[in-house]
């Protein structure tokens, strides 16, 4: 993101006026999902775009240095060489086909940075770290801020923070704004992605308001979910968050990115999200600078589908696993 969102003063009147029509959003979601039928060539192009927008993620309790190194290698070469060559690319110095970032816990940032540095890809693939008491965001604020600083000091250049959802549910917008603003300051030059955990915010009006507050506080991206909630990234949630981004851009002239995460597992899911972004925000947002997928299993399904398109054959699913 060339020009970061500096944020603005908290506008409580804007929040008070915000009401989302659930029925209208659901109709728009159905129209977007049902409106496209792609031939193989165009589908392959969309899927290659999706590959470049993935934050390849591992957030497991048993993550080791070896796991993180393998994750980085996969992010660097996300598709098999022969498949990539057939699609018109090859893994040379300026190859554009790689994942946008790897996303790990703060304690694993150093492993990710070290591996990408050895691969000569530290300037091409970002290192994102979750922080601030992920996934619940309920640790003391001082602890959350220290966690951000720890990850940044170890080399993370993107921080995926989680908001305290209780502040949304109780309407404490000023406190939420102040907390995110402090988190943005703690990030320094690292970009901040604010995870809203939208599925826990009760209604879409709260999702819209929380999106606005995060952007007003200086978030570079707003992110749907931690992936740990019962409801994660859905197209209706994406529509509301995209509309908030568009409204914020119209009012401030600053672009904020969108990152859906959780439940995006198939090629069809990825294309639906890309089409939604194109329809609401435009082609400018179809870039890793302004759009990301938070995913662990999505890449395997994209490989599987691209193999089908290229060969006309059905491969066994295990052939495209991370391992």
Please report the pLDDT score of residue 321 as a whole number: 57
pTM for the model stands at 0.95
Query: Sorting pLDDT into bands at 50, 70 and 90, what band is 1?
Result: very low
Q: Mean pLDDT, to the nearest integer, of 64-80?
A: 96
Is residue 103 scored above 50 in pLDDT?
yes
Nearest CA among 100, 103, 127 for reference residue 113: 127
- DSSP state string for 119-135: TT-TTTSEEEEEESSTT
Q: Which of 255, 259, 269, 301 is catalytic?
A: 259
Q: Which of 55, 154, 160, 269 is catalytic?
A: 160
Contact indicator for 32, 275 with CB cutoff of 8 Å: yes
Encode pLDDT of 44-60 as tens digits: 999 999 999 999 999 99
Q: Does residue 41 or residue 8 have the better pLDDT?
A: 8
Contact indicator for 108, 128 with CB cutoff of 8 Å: no
Residue spans of alpha helices (H) in 11-140:
12-17, 22-34, 40-52, 65-76, 81-86, 109-118
Is residue 137 scored above 50 in pLDDT?
yes
Please report the pLDDT score of residue 209 as a whole number: 98
**How far is residue 74 CA from its own chain's centroid?**
18
- The mean of the pLDDT values for the chain is 94
The count of residues in the chain is: 323
Q: Which of 74, 108, 193, 223 is catalytic?
A: 223
User: Is-catalytic flag, 160?
Assistant: yes
- CB atoms under 10 Å from CB of 55, counted, come to 26
Instruction: Give the distance between the most distant pair of CA atoms in the chain.
Output: 56
User: Is-catalytic flag, 255?
Assistant: no
Query: Sorting pLDDT into bands at 50, 70 and 90, what band is 38?
Result: confident
Phi, psi of 263 (to 5 degrees): 85, 0
User: Is-catalytic flag, 63?
Assistant: no
Residue 223 DSSP symbol: E
Query: Sorting pLDDT into bands at 50, 70 and 90, what band is 319?
Result: low
Alpha carbons 78 and 302: distance in angstroms, whole number: 10
Contact indicator for 162, 136 with CB cutoff of 8 Å: yes
- CB atoms under 10 Å from CB of 165, counted, come to 23
Nearest CA among 40, 39, 76, 23 for reference residue 203: 23
Measured in Å, how far apart are the chain's first and last C-alpha atoms?
32
Contact indicator for 284, 257 with CB cutoff of 8 Å: no
Please report the pLDDT score of residue 317 as a whole number: 61
Please report the pLDDT score of residue 323 as a whole number: 43
pLDDT cut 70: percent of the chain above it: 96
Is residue 272 scored above 60 in pLDDT?
yes
pLDDT cut 90: percent of the chain above it: 89
């Amino acid at each position: 993101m060339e020009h970061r969102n500096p944020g603005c003063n908290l506008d409580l009147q804007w929040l008070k006026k915000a009401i989302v029509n659930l029925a209208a959003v659901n109709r728009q979601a159905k129209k977007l999902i049902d409106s496209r039928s792609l031939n193989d060539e165009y589908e392959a192009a969309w899927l290659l775009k999706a590959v470049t927008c993935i934050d390849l993620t591992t957030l497991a309790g048993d993550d080791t240095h070896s796991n993180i190194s393998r994750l980085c290698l996969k992010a660097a070469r996300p598709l098999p060489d022969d498949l990539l060559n057939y699609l018109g690319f090859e893994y040379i110095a300026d190859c554009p086909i790689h994942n946008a970032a790897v996303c790990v816990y703060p304690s694993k940032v150093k492993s990710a940075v070290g591996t990408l540095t050895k691969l000569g890809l530290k300037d091409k693939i970002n290192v994102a770290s979750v922080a601030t008491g992920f996934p619940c965001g309920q640790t003391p604020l001082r602890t959350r801020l220290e966690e951000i600083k720890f990850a940044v000091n170890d080399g993370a250049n993107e921080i995926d923070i989680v908001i305290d959802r209780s502040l949304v549910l109780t309407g404490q917008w000023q406190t939420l704004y102040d907390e995110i603003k402090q988190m943005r300051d703690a990030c320094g030059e690292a970009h901040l992605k604010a995870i809203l955990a939208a599925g826990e915010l009760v209604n879409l009006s709260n999702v819209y308001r929380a999106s606005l507050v995060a952007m007003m506080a200086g978030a570079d991206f707003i992110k749907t979910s931690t992936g740990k909630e019962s409801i994660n990234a859905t197209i209706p949630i994406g529509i509301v968050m995209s509309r908030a981004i568009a409204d914020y851009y119209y009012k401030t002239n600053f672009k904020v990115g969108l990152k859906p995460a959780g439940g995006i597992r198939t090629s069809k899911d990825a294309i639906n999200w890309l089409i939604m972004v194109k329809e609401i925000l435009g082609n400018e947002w179809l870039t890793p600078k302004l759009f990301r997928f938070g995913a662990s299993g999505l890449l395997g399904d994209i490989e599987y589908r691209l193999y089908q398109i290229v060969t006309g054959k059905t491969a066994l699913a295990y052939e495209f696993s991370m391992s």
